Amino acid sequence: MPCLAPIHRRAVLAVSGSDATQFLNGLLATSVHGNPSYSAFLHAQGRVLHDVFLFTSPSPTYLIDHDPFPSESPPLLSLLKRFVLRAKVRIRDVTPEWDVWAAWGERPQLHHRSWHWAASGAVEPVWHDLPWGTEHGVLLDRRAPGMGRRLLVRKGDKPQEASTHDVLSPDAYILHRIMHGVPEGSADIQPMHAFPIESNLDVMGGLDFRKGCYVGQELTVRTYHTGMIRKRILPVALSTTSASASPPLHLAIKPSVIPSPGTSTPRLRGTSTLLTSIASPSGSPGTAVGLALLRLEHLRPDIALCTDEADGARWKVEPWWPDWWPKQPSSENTVDSVD
């Protein structure tokens, strides 16, 4: 049965005016051409300020769906107003007018894409169609296969899909994206701290490495061509001997070498970070699933990962790569896939 769930803690800004497309194109990390898209606003030093979903509406207006939770980043409304200058744009907070929903589990349409790998470990989708759709108020969620669609619905209304889908809780959407390995919002992509490629914005289609000038471009493109990706956000299984439902946000994850007879135990450097988590769908006490920003050098069979203690519990962390994650080819730097 297809599913439908509201997405809580979202705000919506409207950007309209004759210069709206040009204005947003100069700020977002992907090209803006009048269609829906997924993208991000970056800091001048290349860190993420806001990951966003760009919707279109029948009038010449863009609707920006974003996480408004207070953080070290300036609120998106004030951030955008700094750049208006003489541009013919109008920016308004229209959150009281809209709700955000997600629909998934519908009969999938096949979409073709290629994956282009850089020597740094960055990977980007090469689309063979308009990836995010063309319908007003609807975005095809191509961040990962199976994510479904994202919908803007008038405040207080339910989507028309409510008559044909199971209507679930907001936690169901959180679980859905965790199981697909999809980070979202300030809890997972920490404003002013997160780098876009480490946060999977490249593989999710939220970066354009061939686009012209935009804020944060220089460091992002330099990392793509000459850097080395040392961290990724991955889904993790969590377990503890305590009866805790789920661990708190942003716990440090520390590695330890599983000792082998007759060998010395080296000291490992660096830590990882636990992000969003939720009680395991199995309902077993002391189990959860979540997302974590992990150091790739710690993803070895002989290394165990465990969080710092919090609320009397220490959590064992077992990451996995999502089954949709592209496999890097041995000789070519491009590989095709269907989702």
Supply the pLDDT for residue 337. Answer: 59
The helix/strand/coil state of 160 is helix
Supply the pLDDT for residue 334. Answer: 56
DSSP strand E in 196-296: where? Answer: 231-239, 252-257, 272-279, 287-295
Tell me the mean pLDDT per 10 residues along the chain, length 339: 96 96 95 95 95 91 96 94 93 97 85 88 91 95 96 95 96 97 98 97 95 90 93 96 84 90 74 95 88 96 93 93 88 56
Region label for 34, one of left (φ > 0), alpha (ψ between -120 and 50) or beta (otherwise): left
Asked if 221 contacts 275 with a C-beta cutoff of 8 angstroms, the reply is no
Supply the pLDDT for residue 159. Answer: 96
Query: What is the pTM for the complete model shown?
Result: 0.94
Supply the pLDDT for residue 193. Answer: 96
User: Edge-to-edge, what's the strand order for the sheet holding 61-66?
Assistant: 37-42, 48-57, 61-66, 11-16, 90-93
Cα–Cα distance between 254 and 301 in angstroms, integer?
15
